[in-house]
Each structure stands twice: as structure tokens, then as C-alpha cells.
Structure 1
Amino acid sequence: MRWTIKPQPEPKKVKTLQKALQVDEHIATLLLQRGVETFEEAKRFFRPKLKHLHDPFLMKDMDKAVARIEKAFANNENILVYGDYDVDGTTAVALMSTYLKTRHNLVYTYIPNRYDEGYGVSYKGINFALENDFTLIIALDCGIKSVEKVAHAKSLGIDFIICDHHRPGDEIPDAVAVLDPKREDCNYPYKELCGCGVGFKLVQALSSKEGKTAADLTEYLDLVATAIGADIVPIDGENRVLAYFGLLVINTNPRPGIKAILNQVEKTELTITDVVFVVAPRINAAGRMEHGNYAVTLLAEEEDDLAAKYAEEINNYNLERRETDKQITEEALQQIEENNEQDRLTTVVYHPQWHKGVIGIVASRLTETYYRPTLVFTKSGNKLAASARSVRGFDVYNALEACKEHIEQFGGHKYAAGLTLEEKNYEAFKQAFEEVVSKTIDRNLLTPEIKIDAQIDLKNITPKFYRILKQFAPYGPNNMTPVFMSDNLIDTGYGKCVGEDKTHLRLTATQPTSPDRFVGIGFSMGDKFEIISEGKPFKAVYSIDENEWRGNVSLQLNLRDIKP
């Protein structure tokens, strides 16, 4: 692992903020690193309020979107709420459809089938709208690149409103309204909303016409927070407010569908990390293993008994998904070894039988193993489809753009993308991707990096320090869990390997300069026991959390890495 200490703010700024807030210098440092420089900004950071959300009408085309939906209400038109099959798409469809149904009876939902329609707006979906007399489609978490499909729908008399957050292509679709803060001609102050977040802004705009504020829409924020966590968008600015209040709803009064999922895992208070690893995989499993409709049905359900039944079905899909992705990961690792491709700068693997629903997860697992830009391909109809994942600091979307002569279509983000290509182009693409990455990647990025916020001594870790740290949550990109480094540590002699197969490390750290002792837990770090044995000094990178044991709560170090 590469240890990198983040740039430290100017001492003068630290002192000024420390004095203004009456906090420890390390807290002031953490805030400045997150762009919080004044008392007022700190107040907004620590005490988010719904009134901090931006006016939705600052988003380009919002007025047109609202006018078209109100026209549909007035003319009693059929409205089709259309969304992608992942967590962001299904939460967005559940949010938009449940809100619209409070004002209009003719609202229906459509999630494309991952296997015969693929990602985003499909011709099959447009034909469904035509056959069933829908004159307005609201597309969520997709549509920004569907130029030809939106034009086709328009020729059939079907209007589109697009709510997306992906990067636009060279041409914006000719829809009634295209809501996407990443449009170059959109001056919306916050650019990093997820698809469900853009949908929420449309709901906020529609409800403002009835005199309602964001505070009247909190019941929808459990869905928004789930999408923010699952889509790994930055948790700063507007997303921080939405995630903060969404978590509050999840932990106090979640909708029946989310409550039914929580009942399965017996969690008391969820963090955004729990949302990512507990709630999101179950919602995602529906679209991966069967159909995204199951997720929308669960999330929109108002009866507890039915929600429990749907949650059970989805949990079964999730168990099946786990088995499938484990098997495919093993096969992919074997393929890399057999082809002797361990020394490449990219991982590109393919098998026609691999389950299309889990190749994104497999790509993530291969990235964890070899730590390099990764693509996992499978057969999809008469084409090959792939999921791409990247390493921190490398833009895989740009790399795919540089290989587009071999690709039929692609889309996504800096760190995760999807694409399709003709089977005959696979080998040429594989070679081109390796060449592009070889020419453009900084070799340092191929070693996993731990970013350290600050170096501290154990004596700095006090209950008050931790109480303030907890208020930095919810964590996520641009506001990650604070990570610290301490050196000249010594184990008190109680260090040992723990767990069923002794793969984890447990130690009790102290420093010669401090009487304080802290238990440290290092998961999958049992092989590093030698570093801390026999009183040898070591340094550690860690975050701080609480450990509860027999009613006693103590602070402990969640070890990320240790070195002599």
C-alpha cells in the first residue's frame, strides 16, 4: 500500500478556524481539507438543513419539465415513468411514480430488461408506450445519450422528459426537457446529484407549485439516500443534505420496503456504509438476477405484510447473486493465470456463459485483486457486453473513449462504465485498451493508496475528539471517513492473530509519550503479526470507531495498514 498524507492546510488558517470553532487543531485541519473554512460553513457542515437545498428551477429545462407534466395532469394523459434497473434507477422510479400517483391516476412504471433490452432507453420500451397509449415518458437515471431513440419516440407522438446525471455526448436529445446538471449549458450550482437526486429535484419543483417545501417531501429521502450511497457520488454540498436527512428517515420511519430489508439484517442504526453494503445489494439483486420491476414493487409498496413478502423474494435473488459472482470471480482469476496475463496493466476477460447481471461485481473483485483498470465481458444476444471498473485516479471512461473505433456503444462515469461491441472486435479492443492505459496511466496508480488526513498521537484520541468526528458523517467521496497515522507505536504484548482461521490481527497499541492504550483490529492482516511482535516499534494507519463489549463502550483503532 502507498501511504499518502493529504496536503495540510496553512497553519494560520488552522489557528483561525480552531479559534472560531473552539475545537482541536486536528478537527480544524480535517474541516479545511474538506473545504470548510469559516464558522458559517462549519455550521452548515455540522448542522445540515433542508432549506440549504438549491431552488430546483435553477436547473436548465426545469420550467419546461414542470409545465409538460402539469399539462399531462390537465389532459388526463397516461404517464410512463421509465428508469434503469440498478439501485439509482429503481429508487428514482419508485420516488417519481409514488409522488405522481398522489396527483394523477394514470401513472405506470417501466424498467428495461437487462438481458434483452440492455441499459437505458430501449426501442422495446418506446413500443410499449405506443401500444399502451402513453404520450409522456419520464426517463430517470438514463436518456442523456438516447438521441435517436428520443427522436423516434417524438415521431410517434410520444414526449420525453429526461432526468439524468451521466455525462452528455456531443448532442443533447430533442426531448421536451433534459434535466442533467452535467450539461455544459446548465448553471445549476451542484453538479454531482445522482439520478434519483435529479428526480427528487423535479418532484421538489412540481410540489413547490402547490406551495410545498422540501420539508414536506422528507418521506422520499430514504430512497434518495439509498441511491446516493449505492451510486458512490460525492457526499458534499446538496448530496450531504439529502443523505443526512435520508438516513434520518431510514433510521426512524423508513418506507415499508426498506423497513422489510432492515428487518432481515437486524440492524439498529444504519450508516451510509450499511446502506451501500446491506440495502443496496438486495435492491440491485432484483435487476441482476431476475427483473428490476421487483425492486420498484418492493420500494413503492405501502403495506408492511406485502413488503415483507417482496423483501424475502429479493433476498433470495441476493443469495443466488452471491453464489454466482463468487463462481465467476474464481473462473476469471483462473483465466488470467492460465493466459499468463498477471503482468499486464489492464484486466480484460471474457466468457460467453458468464451471468450478465454480476459482471460489474466481478470486475470490482478483480480490481481489488490486481488493482488495475478492469473489464469483464460476456455474451449478450449477438454482441459482447462488458462492465468496466477503474482504480482511484484513472478515468476509465476517457480510456474507453480513446478506443471507441472498436466499440458499438458505451457510457458511465470516471470509475465505472459499461459497453457493448461486436465479437469480432474483441481482440482488437483488448489490445487497444491495454495500449491506451499503458500510455496514459501514472504507474503509481497501480499500487493501492491510503490517503491519510493527518498524523496524530494516541493522546489526541479523546471522547470529545471522537464525538466531533462522528458528526462528520455521512461519509463518502469528498468526505471520506477520517484516516490517521501514528508512528513509534508498541504493542503491549497482547497482540495476536484472531478469527476462525487466524487471518485477522488484534493488538493493543501504546506510545512512549502517552499513557493511553488502544485496541487495534486489522481485518485480513494476520500475516503482519511479525511486524508488531516482541515489542518492535511500528507505525499504523487507521480510522477510529467504537467497540461495545458487555455493555462497555470504548474507542478502538480500525487498522488500515501497518509498517515497521
Structure 2
Amino acid sequence: MRWTLKPKPAEETVNRLSKELGVNTVIATLLAQRGIETFDAAKQFFRPQLSDLHDPFLMKDMDKAVARIEQAIANEENILVYGDYDVDGTTSVALLSSYLKSYYPNVATYIPDRYDEGYGISYKGIDFAEDNGFSLIIALDCGIKAIDKVAYASEKGINFIICDHHRPGAEIPKAVAVLDPKRKDCDYPYKELCGCGVGFKLIQALSEKRGLQIDDLLLYLDLVATAIGADIVPITGENRVLAYYGLKVINSNPRVGFQAILAQVKKKTLTITDVVFIIAPRINAAGRMKHGNHAVALLTETDVNRAAEYASEIEQFNTDRRDTDKTITQEALMQIVANNEENRKTTVVYHENWHKGVIGIVASRLTETYYRPTLVFTKSGEKLAASARSVRGFDVYNALEGCSEFIEQFGGHKYAAGLTLHEKDFESFKNEFEKVVSETIDPKLLQPELQIDAEIDLTEITPKLYRLLKQFAPFGPGNMTPVFMTQGLKDTGWGKCVGEDKTHLRITVKQGNSPQFVCIGFGMAEKQDIACGDAPFKAAYVIDENEWQGNVSLQLRLKDIRE
């Protein structure tokens, strides 16, 4: 890893913040690094309020979307809520459909089949709407590039409202309303909402028209927080408010479906990280291994016994998913070695029988291993489909645009995307992707970066500091858990490798005459010689809590150590 120490904010800013807030300079430094430089900004950061949320009608076409939904309800039309099969899509569908059904009965849901229909709006979904008398489709977390599909629906007399957060192409679909803060002509103040976040803005607008208050929508925020965590959007601004209150709902009054998931994992208080690693994979597993409808059914279920059945089913999907992605990851790693491709700037692998539902996870695993932009392909009908993942600082979406002559269809974000192409174009695409990335990537981005917020001494680590650090949560992109660095550390003689397979490192350190701290480094057994020798070393870590036999103490969770 290359260690990067974040620039120190201006000393006068840190000192002023420290004085105004009554906090030490470590906390003031962390705040200033996050762009929080005034008392009011700090208050908003530490005490998010629902009143901080923006007016939903600032989003372009929101008035048109609300008017069309009100018209559909007045005319007793059938409304189809359509969403993608991942966490963001299924939570969006659960959110909007359950909200509309709370006061209007003629609402149904549709999740496309990952294998039969693929990502986004499908002709099959539109035909389903026509066959079943739906005159309005509200698409969530997809649709921003569905120009032909929306035109096809129009010919059948079916209107579309699109709620998306992906980057638009050169043309916007001719829908009744297109809600997407990333539209160039949209002045909405916050651009980083996930799909479920855009769906929430729609129900916020509908609620305002119905004379409801924002507090009336609190019960939907568990879904929004889950989507924010799963879709890896920045936890800043509006997303921070939504995630903050969503976590409160998850931990105090979660929907029945979440209760059923949590009953199986026996976890008490969840952080956003727990949501990402416990709830999200299970919701995702339905669409990956079977069908996204299972996830929507669980998330909208109100009967405890039925929810428990759904959760048990989804637990099995998740177990199958884990086994499948482990097998495919091993096969992909073998393919890279067999083809002598360890030294490329990209990873592009393909096997026609790989499970389409897990190629995104496999791409993430390969990125962790080789740390370079990665694509995993499989056969999907007559074409090849791929999931792309990137490394920090490199825009894989732009790189794919540079290879567009070989791509049939693609969409996504800076760090994650999906695409399809014809099999005959695979080798040409693979070579072009390597060429584009090689020419545009800064070589240092191909080495994992450990960003360090501040250098501190062990004497500065106190229970009060930790209490304040906890208030920085929820953590995520744009507001990561603070990483500290301390030099001149020495092991007190108790250092050893621990765990069943002795892959983790546990040491007790001090710095001069400082208090001692226990450190745990997961997967860091190979650093034992550095840590347990006589020479002093430096460590990068996050401050954590350890609970053992009822005793709670501060510990340092190691990220890396160096001589």
C-alpha cells in the first residue's frame, strides 16, 4: 500500500473550530478536512435534521411526475412500479409501491429477470404492462438510456415516469417525466442520490401535495439507508441525513422483512457497514440466484410468519451465491495466470458458463487481488454480458466510452458499470480496453492507497476522543472512518499471530511512556517480524472498541504497519 497523508487544513481554521466547538485540534482537523469549517456546518454534520432535506420540487420534472401520478389515481388507472433487480432497484420498488398502496389499490410491481431480460427496462416488461392494462409505468434505478423502450411503450399508449441516478447519454428518453439529478439541465442541489433516494424524493413530493409532513415518511428510510450503503454513493449532504435516520429506523423499528433477516444473524445494533455486509447481500442474492421478486416480497411483507419464510429462502440463495462466487473467483484467478496476464493494466476474463448473477462480486474480488480496472464476462443469450469494477481515482465509465465501437450497450457509474457486446467483438474489446486504460490511468492508481487523516500520538487517544469520533458516523464514501498514523511504536513483548489459521496479528504497543494499546491486524500475520522485533515501527489504524467478558476497552484496528 502507498500511504497518503491528507493535507493539513489551515491552522487558523483548525484553531477557530477547536475554540468555537470546544473540541481538541484532532477533531477540528477531521472536520475541516471534510469541508466543515463553521459552527453551523458542524451542528448540521453532528445533528442531521430531516428539515435539512431539499425541496423535492427543485428536481427537474418533479411537478410533471406528481401531476401524472395524481391524474392516474383520479382516473383509477393501473400503475406498474418497475425497478432493477439489485438492492437499489428492489428497495426502490418496495418503497414506492408500498407508499402508493397505502392510499391507492391499483398498484403492482415488476422486476425484470436478470437472465431472461437483463438490466433495466425490457420490451417484455412493457408487453406485460400492455397485456395487464397498465397505462403508467414508474421506473426506478433504471431507464435513463431507455430511449427506444420508452418510445415502444408510447406506441402502446403507456406513459413512463423515470426515476434514475445513472449518467444520462446524449439524449433523454421522451417520458412524461425524467427525474435524474445527474441531468445536465437539472438544478437539484444534491447530485449523489441513489435510485431509492430519487424514489424517496418522489414520495416526499407526493406527500407534500397530500398535506403530510416529512416525519410521516420516516418508516421508509430503512429502505433508503440500505440502498445508500449498498450502492456505495457518498454519505454526504442529503445522503447523510437519509442514512442517519434510516439507521435509526433499522435499529429501533425496522420493517418486518428486515426483522426476519436480522433474526437469522443475531446482530443487535447495526452500522451502515453492517447494512452493507449483512442486509444488502441477502437482498441482492434473490436477484442474483433466483429472481428479484423474492426481495420485493420480503421487503413489503407485513406478516411476521410469512416474512420468516421469505427470509429463510433468501438465506439459502445467499449461501448458494457465496459458494458460486468463490468457485468462479478461483477459476478466474487461474485463467489470469494461465494466460500470463498478471502484468497487464486491466483484468478482462470470460467463461461462457459463469453465473451471471455473481460476476459483479467476482469483479470486485479480482480488483482486490490485482488492483486494476476489471471486467468479468459471461454468456447471456446470444451476447456476452460483463460487470466492470474500478480502482479508486479511475473512471471506468469513461474508459468504456473510449471502447464504445465494440460495445453494444453499457451504463453505470465511475467505479461500477455493466455492458453487453457480441462475442465476435470480445478480443477486440479486450485489447482496446487495455489500450485505453494504459494510456489514461495514472500508474500510481494501480497501487492500493491508504489515506491517512492525521498523525497523532497514543497519548491523544482517550475515551472522549472516541465518543466524538463515533458521532462522525454514518461512515462511507465522502466520510470514511478516520485513519490515524503513529510513529515510534514498540511491541511490549506480547505480540503473536492469532486466529484458527494464525493469519491475524495481535500486538500490544506503547510509544515512549504512553498508555499501552492492544492492536489487531486482520490478515496481517506476515507483518509479525516488523511488529515484534526490537526496532520501532509506525502503524496506520482506526480506533475501535473491543468487548471481552463484559469489559469494553479501546483498541487499534491496524490497516498497515511499516518499519
Aligned to 1:515, the other structure's residue is in SS state coil
Q: For 1:422-441, list aligned pairs within 5 A.
A: 422-441=422-441
Identity of aligned residues (%): 72
Deviations 1:39-91 (A, max 9, x none): 00000000011111111001000000000000000000000000000000000
AA paired with 1:552?
A: N
Deviations 1:291-348 (A, max 9, x none): 0000000000011111111000000000000000000000000000000000111000
CA distance in 2, matches of 1:262, 1:6: 37
Partner of 1:167: 167
C-alpha RMSD of matched pairs (Å): 0.5
Partner of 2:561: 562
1:528 aligns to 2:516 (yes or no): no
User: What TM-score do the two structures reach when normalised by structure 1?
Assistant: 0.99
CA distance in 1, matches of 2:531, 2:141: 49
CA distance in 2, matches of 1:265, 1:535: 43
CA distance in 1, matches of 2:7, 2:169: 35
Aligned residues of 1:493 and 1:534 also touching (Cα < 8 A): no
CA distance in 2, matches of 1:453, 1:177: 43
AA paired with 2:316?
A: N
Deviations 1:397-437 (A, max 9, x none): 00000000000000000000000000000000000000000
CA distance in 1, matches of 2:324, 2:161: 36
CA distance in 2, matches of 1:532, 1:156: 69
1:516 aligns to 2:515 (yes or no): yes
CA distance in 1, matches of 2:275, 2:534: 40
CA distance in 2, matches of 1:473, 1:532: 30
**How far has the Cα of 1:210 moved from its partner?**
1.5
CA distance in 2, matches of 1:189, 1:62: 14
1:393 aligns to 2:393 (yes or no): yes
User: What TM-score do the two structures reach when normalised by structure 2?
Assistant: 1.00
Deviations 1:361-403 (A, max 9, x none): 0000000000000000000000000000000000000000000
Runs of 4+ in 1 over 4 A off after TM superposition: none
Aligned to 1:494, the other structure's residue is in SS state coil
1:152 aligns to 2:175 (yes or no): no
Partner of 1:548: 547
Structure 1 residue ranges without an equivalent (≥5): none
CA distance in 2, matches of 1:39, 1:511: 34
Aligned residues of 1:222 and 1:254 also touching (Cα < 8 A): yes
Partner of 1:51: 51
Aligned to 2:386, the other structure's residue is in SS state strand
CA distance in 1, matches of 2:164, 2:82: 12
Deviations 1:97-138 (A, max 9, x none): 000001211000000000010000000000000111100000
**How far has the Cα of 1:209 moved from its partner?**
1.0
Aligned to 2:273, the other structure's residue is in SS state helix
Deviations 1:500-555 (A, max 9, x none): 1110000011001x421110000000011000123320000000110011111000
Partner of 2:177: 177
CA distance in 2, matches of 1:107, 1:2: 52
Q: For 1:293-304, list aligned pairs within 5 A.
A: 293-304=293-304
CA distance in 1, matches of 2:134, 2:333: 47
Q: For 1:287-326, list aligned pairs within 5 A.
A: 287-326=287-326
Partner of 1:109: 109
CA distance in 1, matches of 2:516, 2:305: 49
Partner of 1:240: 240
1:448 aligns to 2:470 (yes or no): no
Partner of 2:538: 539
Q: For 1:321-336, list aligned pairs within 5 A.
A: 321-336=321-336
**How far has the Cα of 1:147 moved from its partner?**
0.7
CA distance in 1, matches of 2:210, 2:96: 16
Aligned residues of 1:492 and 1:535 also touching (Cα < 8 A): no
CA distance in 2, matches of 1:515, 1:62: 58
AA paired with 1:185?
A: D
**Aligned residue-pair number:** 563
Partner of 2:128: 128
Deviations 1:15-34 (A, max 9, x none): 01111001010100000111
Partner of 2:462: 462
Aligned residues of 1:194 and 1:228 also touching (Cα < 8 A): yes
Q: For 1:395-434, list aligned pairs within 5 A.
A: 395-434=395-434
Q: For 1:472-483, list aligned pairs within 5 A.
A: 472-483=472-483
Aligned to 1:138, the other structure's residue is in SS state strand
AA paired with 2:402?
A: A
CA distance in 2, matches of 1:23, 1:509: 26
CA distance in 2, matches of 1:140, 1:485: 43
CA distance in 2, matches of 1:405, 1:214: 47
1:86 aligns to 2:86 (yes or no): yes
Mean Cα deviation higher: 368-377 or 531-540: 531-540
Deviations 1:269-309 (A, max 9, x none): 00000000000000000000000000000000011111111
Aligned residues of 1:490 and 1:510 also touching (Cα < 8 A): yes
Q: For 1:165-314, list aligned pairs within 5 A.
A: 165-314=165-314
Aligned residues of 1:394 and 1:445 also touching (Cα < 8 A): yes
AA paired with 1:526?
A: A
Partner of 2:118: 118
AA paired with 2:542?
A: S
Partner of 1:355: 355
Aligned to 2:516, the other structure's residue is in SS state strand
CA distance in 1, matches of 2:452, 2:157: 56
Aligned to 2:533, the other structure's residue is in SS state helix
CA distance in 1, matches of 2:45, 2:213: 21
Aligned residues of 1:243 and 1:474 also touching (Cα < 8 A): yes
Mean Cα deviation higher: 408-417 or 206-215: 206-215
CA distance in 2, matches of 1:503, 1:12: 45
AA paired with 1:555?
A: L
CA distance in 2, matches of 1:148, 1:461: 59
CA distance in 1, matches of 2:530, 2:292: 48
Aligned residues of 1:490 and 1:536 also touching (Cα < 8 A): yes
Aligned to 1:540, the other structure's residue is in SS state strand
CA distance in 2, matches of 1:363, 1:41: 38
Partner of 2:66: 66
